[in-house]
Each structure stands twice: as structure tokens, then as C-alpha cells.
Homo-oligomer: A and B are copies of this chain.
Amino acid sequence: MKATFMFGARDVRVEDVADPVIQEPSDAVVRVVRACVCGSDLHPYRSMPPAPDGVPMGHELIGVVEEVGGSVASVRPGDFVIAPFAFQDNTCVFCREGVQTACLHGGWYGTPETGGLQAELARIPLADGSLVRVPDIDPDTAEESMLASLLTLSDVYLTGYHGAHMGEAGPGRTVTVVGDGAVGLSAVLASRRLGAERIILMGRHRERTDLGIEFGATDVVPQRGPEGIAAVMDLTGGEGSHVVIEAVGHMPAYEQAYGVVRPGGIISRVGVPQYEDAPIGFGSLFGKNARLAGGPAPVRAYIEDAIPQVLDGSINPGRVFDVEVGLDETPAAYEAMNERRALKVMVRP
């Protein structure tokens, strides 16, 4: 089969490799219907040291189950499924507490052992916990927009939702979203779903912020740095934002976040931090009792509620996809997202 690998910064290639096979009784093999490139894939795309063997890429898919191991009970060949971007048993103590990305037996795609999902086929470990069946949808006849929205439940929409949920977005709470990438726009949509009336989107790419407005943003702040902070403070009557969803992962975005968070408010991070140390002392978080939340989204915790919302058309998060490519063109998809010519690229094997 064909699968995508990264060999270093700006070096993505599609290679012919052996088809994945069932290795454990709890595995499934899935034929990929749609995969995509994630904003988090751009971090290694910009900075990864050379890797002669290549790192398998991709952690989002919708697909059709081809084969299951002997212990798999919840899906069977032919089922149309979504794979949350991390695998998990969905039964361990942390899964039961709703933190499936910390599953005791789970892990991440994109390792030599599990492979990546920007491929024709994928081995899914712990299939009972890691695949969620979508009822009554035939991927061969479903509308493209429906497939796109279902694909976002693998990661991007529910990562935005995680940001909104952990930030406690809701009625009466002003939300500021830092970043107009696909996760940021998803966070806008999720915040609106959770009842926030005032949603400030910090971003300066007009076509993206326009989609943010359609998703529910009430204000757009294109400025960054101290000017961006001043603009949000102005919009909030000098008080700051109850909820700040940081959907970038770089230090300047975090600095924006603590600059605009209101006393007692919550910064909820869903951009993967590209830093380890950051200000959290009296001058940033502590003095104003600002809180910090977020992490890798436990998509599995949210997906069963989200699927019906997509199926009945209440939400249409698939609109974040603006380019579609074949699997052979995946390297160009990285390039387009890295250069911001594409917001989010769908890959059709």
C-alpha cells in the first residue's frame, strides 16, 4: 500500500510499504476513506531533524473496517468508522475518568509500531476502544460535506471542542480564541454550541476569520502582541475574557492568552505547546487567579455526542477543509498548509 512518511523538515514522501496486518487479537485493519493533515503535523514539518527511515504520518481518518482480530466485539468488517487521533482501550481508569489520551494501554499513531493514518490502510490497535461506528452512512454515496464533517470528529473539531469544554465556555462568558487555524475555528464553533454569546477570534487571515464569523465569532482581532491584548481588553470593557482558548502552541499565543484572560478566568490550551517553561507566576496567572487547562483532546469522550450533531446537520465543522488531494499529493498538502495557502487539507487515498 501507499503511506506517508516524513524524513525531515519539509521532506514528506509517499512510499510503497507492506499492507498492515492484524498483530493482536484486539487490532483492526481499516481501509482509509479520508485522512487529512493536522496543524500539529506542521511542527515537525518545520523543524524535524533528518530521519533516514522516515516517520509514518497522519492520525486522523474515517474508513471502512477490512478485518478484525479475534477479540474485537464492537466493529466488524464493512462498518464505517471514525478513528479518534489517539488509540485507547476506553476501559482503563483514566479512560473512565474521561482522559482517554492518557489511557494506560493507549498511545499515538505515527510510530514505527502503529504506523500513520495518511495511508491506504491502517492498523488500529485496541479497536474496541479506538474505532467508533457511524450508523446508517455509506461512504460511497454520502455527501462530501458529510464525510468532511465526520472526519473532523477524528481530531480537529473535537480538539476545538475540548478547548471550549475545558475552558468552561458557556452562556454569559466571553470567549477569546487565539489562532484562526482549523482548531481555532473549531473552538469558535464549539463555544457557540456551548452557549457562549460573545466570541472574539484573534487571527489575521481574512478568509479564515470570515469562516470564524460564520461559525459564531462576534469579533475579529487581527492585531498581535501588546496591540492584540489591548484590542481584546477594549472589547471586554477593560475586564478581559472569561475563557481564552489557545489554539496555536507557540509562546506568543500563550502570551496573548494570559494577557487577555480575566481574573478568575481560564486559559484552555489545545495547540500543542512548542515550549516547556512559560510564565505562570504572580505577574501572569497567579496574581489574578487565572487558571490553565487543556491538553491532547480525549476525542473518544466526546465523539458519541458529536456524531448525531453532524448527521442531523446541527454542526458542519467539515467546512474547515478547503483543499482535497489524492494520497500521492500529500507532500503538496503539507506545503500548502505550511504556506497558509490551505486551511486544512483532506487526503483521499
Contacts and interface: CB of A to CB of B under 8 A. Distances in A.
Contacts of A54: none
Interface stretch (A23-31, A95-103, A317-325): A95-103
A264 B94 contact: yes
Interface string A270-304: 00110111111111111111111111101000000
A335 B273 CA distance: 43
Given A102-B263, A277-B278, A277-B279, A295 B287 contact: yes
12 contacts: A94-B262, A94-B264, A97-B264, A99-B289, A273-B281, A273-B286, A275-B281, A277-B277, A278-B278, A287-B296, A289-B293, A292-B293
A327 to B, nearest CB: 29
A296 to B, nearest CB: 7
Contacts of A293: 289, 291-292
Contacts of A239: 93-94
Given A264-B94, A264-B97, A277-B277, A102 B289 contact: yes
B294 A264 contact: no
A281 to B, nearest CB: 4
Nearest to A95: B263
A249 B6 CA distance: 43
Nearest to A237: B93
A101 B295 contact: no
A278 B275 contact: no
Given A99-B288, A289-B298, 12 more contacts: A93-B239, A94-B263, A97-B263, A99-B264, A102-B264, A166-B289, A273-B280, A273-B282, A276-B282, A277-B281, A286-B296, A287-B296
Contact of A264 (B98, B284, B292): B98
Contacts of A283: 276
B269 A276 contact: no
A289 B279 contact: no
Q: Work out how many copies of this chain go into the complex.
A: 2
Nearest to A298: B289
A2 to B, nearest CB: 30
Nearest to A103: B263
B286 A272 contact: yes
Contacts of A298: 289
A106 B99 CA distance: 39
A295 B284 contact: no
Nearest to A280: B278
A266 to B, nearest CB: 9
A101 B289 contact: yes
A60 B345 CA distance: 59
Nearest to A292: B292
A202 B29 CA distance: 48
Interface string A188-215: 0000000000000000000000000000
B272 A276 contact: no
Contact of A285 (B99, B289, B292): B292
Nearest to A102: B263
A100 to B, nearest CB: 10
A283 B272 CA distance: 11
